[in-house]
A and B are shown apart, each in its own frame.
Chain A
Amino acid sequence: MRWFYLYFPSLQLDQMLVQMQVGQEPSAGGQEPSAGAEKTATGSLAGRSGAIVLYDPKQQTVTQVSGLARTAGIREGMALSDCWLLCEDLAAFPYRASMQRQVLYQTTRLLYRYVALICPDHPHGLWLEASSMRRLYSSEEHLLSCIDEQLGQHGIHYRSAISRSSLAAQIHARTGTSSANQVPVKALPCSPRLIQKMERMGVKTIADALKIPRSALGGKLGKEIVQVLAEYQGHRVLPMACFQPPTVFYQRLVLLADVHDWQGLRFPMKRLLNDLAAFLELRQQQTQRLQISLSHRDAPPTRLTIGMAHGCWRADDFMHLCQLKMENYELKAPVTDMSLYTRELSGRNLAEADLWNHSKHRAMPSETSLGQLLNQLQLRLGEAQVRGIQVVHHWVPEQSWEYTAGAAHIAPTPLMGRPFWVLENPELAQPEQWTLVAGPERIESGWWSGETTCRDYYKAVNREGASGWLFYDRLAQKWWLHGWFS
């Protein structure tokens, strides 16, 4: 096996910089910048806003460093107070472990498109197994170039190393070295006491440790170092948990500043929806429900649900629906972060994607599909306000039709002589205002279930000349208007 290890020295910071660039780009106009532009813009933003670091809030030490901060001499592990001395216009943000985990998870998902076997190494790295992908990529360099391009598009900095040992790849990527004689023994995942012992013995680098016969080393320092060196040489495999692609989509985005209105949420929302669209595209699936959660500083989170009668999978369609939902919605408090969640995934409707069924009667490419249109109407007016009409085979007229959530081709019926219009609930009629012209049609039903219906239906004309569908309820002995012929 050949293992790539990708080490991300500033993953959380990279995502924040991309987010700042998207949020601060006024000319973006809802369009994602291209990969090259994003990289350039990130750099220029860093130039404008000065050096940026993330720090551990408890220990007040630097955990992640931007390029400009590094130029100023700031390094990981330095005390934050020292950093201020080195750089006056330093911008410092707290490091959040949960966010780091989330971003690493997103990055793993991103790279799963290229490599089948990925093992996340929290919180800063990933293992990618390369030998199983030989038939897909001409060389390891080819695979690395694909990964490089993808990470570059997302503005993620990384260091990589490849080895047949997963531990060796990890150590070399982290230390930025390529051979064992460059790596100090303290880089090995051993207890500090063992490291100290080795250094006292004069074993300064891993190469030094490898020169000593394994039995002698084991006898002197114990089993731990033997196992670690076996792992380093690939004789023993590190226990790793392989990434399984998620069956639900959940993504959270922490906003850099409080947002007070929908306009400010559009860019981060678009980013989330693009990721959702990529998620669905990979699986050739669609979703019918989005759940958006907006967190506030001093109030419980706002949860919004966008239901769709017809499944969607395109980011633009989702954005349009979000726009419809949000344009009349007033935020109750400034939003600090937002998340998007969907779990109701289903296969796409292949009939809509039929290339050969593109007759003039079908929607042209420029037209909105019926599913999209119904989603928009239902979102604005309410799901109960926009519904299809369908035949139900039942004797009682009010139960002989139903509303459907989406559009459906109307089913055949054996019934004849029925009116064009029907009232949802029959209205009490004054018989003296009507002249019976045809009927009766007797309907008796439900006697077997205790809900007996005994009606005589007539066609009758009122004073205005309109023709109604009346029935005489023989149980209640009343006249009711149930529909209109037209």
Chain B
Amino acid sequence: MQSQAPSIQQLVNSGAVWRGVNSEALFKSSEYPPVSTGLKELDAYLSAGSQLPGGWQWGRMHEVQCPHWFMGEVHLLHAALRLAAAEQAPVFWVAPPAIPYAHTLSRLTGTGAEHIHVRATKSQEALWATESILDAGCARVVCLWANELSQTDSRKLHLAIQRKRTLGFVFTQTLSAEARSFATRIRLPQPHLQEPCKLLKRQGGWPVTLSQWPYLRQLS
């Protein structure tokens, strides 16, 4: 019997065990299934159960920690962007490090989506804009690039996105494991430190390490 304990832990870690605390997520997933991250392994870790589809949960903020920008982090959004285009819903890009190229967006998602670029000179402006967009509830995908997001700020975003059919993403270069109100926290690999991609926080499971981050490997 003692030898089975680690295997249950392993099941919990892999997200195969459904826990009662996830009832709300399960309810939401039955109405609006999560959106794929583009990585099967990551989808499986972000699933509420082995039989359920996994991915980004609606009405939650998801953090992507990037040691450097342009490391393939946008690949995680592809499915969400396609969905927004299919639903002819707006996508907001708040304070990104460059301009999303219209031709690539059109090629990637088709012609349905409305992409809105928000330039903010101060981090507080970007935060206010994101909070307003989330509060409005009309956006399908909201992406914020911010390096100075306090616990209070993340809590504000969490409260604003609750019960909205919106996917919220925060991209940051701050590699911190300090507690934040994000449903998912993923840290992309450091290119030269041979560090793997880590899932720092997820619902219903312990932190795990992803076996690969394919986008960077393809490029290097």
Q: Which residues of A contact B (CB under 8 A)?
A: 360-361, 363-364, 366-370, 372-374, 376-377, 380-381, 384-392, 400-403, 407-413, 415-416, 418-424, 437, 461, 463-468, 483-486
Shortest distance between the CB of A195 and any CB in chain B (Å): 68
What range describes how many residues of B lie at the interface?
35 or more
**Closest 10 pairs between A and B when the two form their complex, measured CB to CB:** A465-B191, A421-B98, A368-B136, A367-B137, A407-B114, A401-B102, A484-B70, A361-B87, A422-B101, A466-B70
Known: A364-B137, A367-B136, A369-B138. A461 touches B220 (CB 8 A): yes
Known: A364-B137, A465-B216, A465-B220. A374 touches B116 (CB 8 A): yes
A461 touches B219 (CB 8 A): yes
Residues in chain A near residue B104, CB distance under 8 A:
418-420
Residues in chain A near residue B132, CB distance under 8 A:
373, 376-377
Shortest distance between the CB of A399 and any CB in chain B (Å): 12
For the complex with contacts A370-B114, A388-B115, A421-B70, 6 further pairs of A-B residues with Cβ separation under 8 Å are: A381-B120, A386-B116, A389-B100, A407-B90, A420-B101, A484-B98
Residue from A368, A381, A424 within 8 A of B129 (CB atoms): A381
What's the count of A-B pairs with C-beta under 8 Å? 173
A465 touches B219 (CB 8 A): yes
A410 touches B101 (CB 8 A): no
A410 touches B116 (CB 8 A): no
Bound state CA distance, A424 and B220, in angstroms? Answer: 25
Q: Which of B9-17, B105-113, B175-183, B200-208 forms part of the interface with chain A?
A: B105-113
B116 touches A391 (CB 8 A): no
Residues in chain B near residue A373, CB distance under 8 A:
132-133, 136, 138-139
Shortest distance between the CB of A360 and any CB in chain B (Å): 8
Residues in chain B near residue A424, CB distance under 8 A:
99
Q: Which of B18-26, B33-41, B72-80, B150-158 forms part of the interface with chain A?
A: B72-80
Residues in chain A near residue B103, CB distance under 8 A:
391, 400-401, 413, 415, 418
Residue with the highest number of chain B CB atoms closer than 10 Å, among A411, A484, A486: A486
Residue from A387, A411, A418, A423 within 8 A of B98 (CB atoms): A423
Known: A386-B118, A420-B100. A484 touches B216 (CB 8 A): no
Residues in chain B near residue A409, CB distance under 8 A:
88, 111-114
Bound state CA distance, A483 and B74, in angstroms? Answer: 14
Residue with the highest number of chain B CB atoms closer than 10 Å, among A367, A385, A420: A420
Shortest distance between the CB of A474 and any CB in chain B (Å): 23
Bound state CA distance, A418 and B106, in angstroms? Answer: 11
